């Protein structure tokens, strides 16, 4: 029997702090419970295991493998690399499951596990069932084999398949942020046309140069400076495990996921007219409007990479994305979030633009919005707050989406309030055409929070231009 710290079993993955809430004993129990669940489902019982470059990842990987073998589950070790490489291995080797040891974009002393089973994301009820199995100790036992397989050459070939030749050569600055994508990125750019400058390429679990989160503007400063000094056409950054990307144009301006998604959607819709394109509920209305204008069917999805992948498979969407920089291609690819592949697709599109990326960016309508606003709310209270707000909105006959929390449409624009699936916080965002309208929207949202019994934080902070 094994009891996990209650904070580490999250909605989309398992995450904790090394030496405080997460240990090698946890990793071994995860391996044995996961292996048991795989064995219960069918004759194929092999599981791929990979890891990122964090200091604690080698010992956690070793413990996961021990647990899998103890359950009688065969293991294929993929080694050090980005999370999408592990997903690729699972798809191409046809294994029953996959586990990546990664702390993603979290601080260096954090780590965790992202999993797949039966070719699908392992999350929600799956993770809860794993916890219950470990607590009861009702897992399988046996012996099995372990082998190491190098998929890097095949993965590189798949990444290069995302590049379409015929555009102009570009100077590009890349920043893997000392994360797990560093080695594969250097192999990739060596095969791409143009001039490529890679900063912070060495995989280093200390993350000595900046935090590995491309949605944090502070982490993109070094990239912006390099784009300026190299006179580059664009800059591309990655998170710690290579499944999210950030983009900077030739003028050093940040393009968020729901902005560069417009370019990606245009190319995909040319090949799949009328197709459903998914963006998460936090995405700008700009993206949904642009998808519709290009003849696509915009679909609002719940935030969370596992949820997006599941919805993609259900409705046959060729492309999906999140504001956080998770981009999912089922068009010419496997349907999982791979920042290296998405970057390669984006690069070939930018190379074929008649002008620069910055000139294209200037053609988008100008909107203003708050950043993503996160404020503390106890886990046992946050759902109640959302329900209180939803009930009032319904009583008033408000126009809204209830896909994930409430996204409320007003004459001035829209505001969102949702409960985080991974933390004891509420998440809010608002977007409008003018700063005056944005102020009206944030005051409107604050009124609903007060009515729900909360003292709202500063819901405005510094508005940013969108488009």
pLDDT tens-digit readout, 112-161? 999 999 989 999 999 999 999 999 999 999 999 999 999 999 999 999 99
Q: Provide φ and ψ at 320, rounded to 5°.
A: -150, 160
Closest to 375 (Cα-Cα) out of 459, 256, 461: 459
pLDDT band at 454 (very low <50, low <70, confident <90, very high): confident
Written as six digits, the tokens of 200 are 């912070």
pLDDT band at 462 (very low <50, low <70, confident <90, very high): low
Residues 265/289, Cβ–Cβ less than 8 Å: no
The percent of residues above 70 in pLDDT, for the chain, comes to 98
Active site residue 7: no
Which has the minimum average pLDDT: 224-233, 340-349, 450-459?
450-459
The catalytic residue among 104, 284, 306, 348 is 104
| Number of alpha helices (DSSP H) and beta strands (DSSP E) in the chain | 14, 23
**Which value, in Å, is the radius of gyration of the alpha carbons in the chain?**
22
State pLDDT tens for residues 310-337: 999 999 999 999 988 999 999 999 999 9
Q: Dihedral sign, CA of 66, 47, 31, 142?
A: negative
pLDDT band at 461 (very low <50, low <70, confident <90, very high): low
Q: Can you give the pTM of this predicted structure?
A: 0.94
Residue 61 to residues 112, 208, 375, 456: CA-CA distances in angstroms? 10, 23, 34, 42
Predicted local confidence at residue 215, as pLDDT: 87
For residue 241, count CB atoms less than 10 angstroms from its CB and return exposed for 0-12, middle for 13-18, buried for 19 or more.
Answer: buried
Beta pairing partners, 399: 409
pLDDT band at 456 (very low <50, low <70, confident <90, very high): confident
Residues 60/15, Cβ–Cβ less than 8 Å: no
């Amino acid at each position: 029997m094994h009891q996990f710290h209650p904070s580490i079993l999250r909605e989309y993955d398992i995450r904790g702090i090394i030496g405080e809430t997460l240990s090698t004993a946890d990793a071994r129990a995860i391996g044995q419970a996961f292996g048991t669940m795989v064995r219960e489902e069918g004759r194929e019982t092999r599981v791929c295991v990979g890891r990122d470059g964090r200091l604690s990842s080698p010992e956690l990987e070793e413990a996961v493998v021990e647990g899998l073998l103890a359950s009688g589950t065969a293991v294929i070790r993929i080694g050090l690399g980005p999370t999408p490489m592990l997903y690729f291995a699972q798809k191409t080797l046809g294994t029953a499951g996959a586990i990546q040891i990664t702390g993603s974009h979290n601080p260096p002393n954090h780590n965790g596990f992202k999993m797949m089973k039966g070719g699908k994301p392992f999350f929600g009820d799956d993770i809860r069932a794993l916890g219950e199995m470990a607590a009861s100790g009702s897992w399988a036992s046996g012996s099995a084999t372990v082998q190491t397989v190098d998929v890097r050459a095949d993965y590189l070939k798949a990444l290069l398949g995302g590049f379409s030749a015929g555009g102009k050569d570009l100077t590009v600055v890349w920043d893997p942020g000392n994360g797990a994508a560093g080695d594969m990125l250097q192999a990739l750019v060596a095969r791409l046309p143009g001039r490529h400058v890679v900063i912070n390429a060495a995989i280093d679990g200390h993350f000595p140069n900046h935090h590995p989160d491309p949605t944090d503007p502070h982490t993109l400063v070094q990239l912006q400076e390099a784009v300026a000094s190299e006179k580059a056409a664009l800059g591309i950054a990655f998170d710690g495990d290579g499944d999210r990307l950030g983009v900077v144009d030739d003028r050093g301006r940040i393009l968020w996921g729901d902005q560069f998604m417009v370019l990606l959607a245009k190319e995909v819709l040319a090949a799949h007219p009328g197709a459903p394109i998914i963006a998460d509920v936090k995405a700008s209305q700009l993206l949904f409007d642009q998808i519709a204008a290009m003849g696509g069917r915009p679909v609002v999805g719940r935030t969370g990479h596992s949820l997006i992948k599941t919805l993609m498979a259900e409705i046959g969407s060729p492309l999906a994305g999140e504001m956080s920089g998770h981009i999912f291609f089922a068009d010419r690819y496997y349907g999982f979030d791979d920042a290296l592949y998405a970057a390669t697709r984006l690069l070939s599109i930018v190379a074929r633009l008649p002008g620069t990326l910055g000139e294209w960016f200037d053609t988008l309508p100008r909107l203003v919005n708050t950043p993503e606003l996160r404020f503390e709310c106890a886990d046992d209270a946050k759902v109640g707050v959302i329900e209180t707000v939803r009930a009032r909105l319904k009583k008033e006959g408000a126009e809204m989406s209830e896909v994930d929390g409430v996204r409320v449409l007003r004459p001035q624009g829209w505001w969102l309030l949702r409960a985080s699936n991974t933390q004891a916080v509420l998440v809010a965002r608002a977007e409008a055409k003018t700063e005056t309208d944005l102020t009206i929207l944030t005051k409107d949202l604050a009124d609903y929070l007060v009515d729900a019994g909360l003292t709202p934080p500063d819901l405005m902070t510094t508005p940013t231009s969108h488009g």
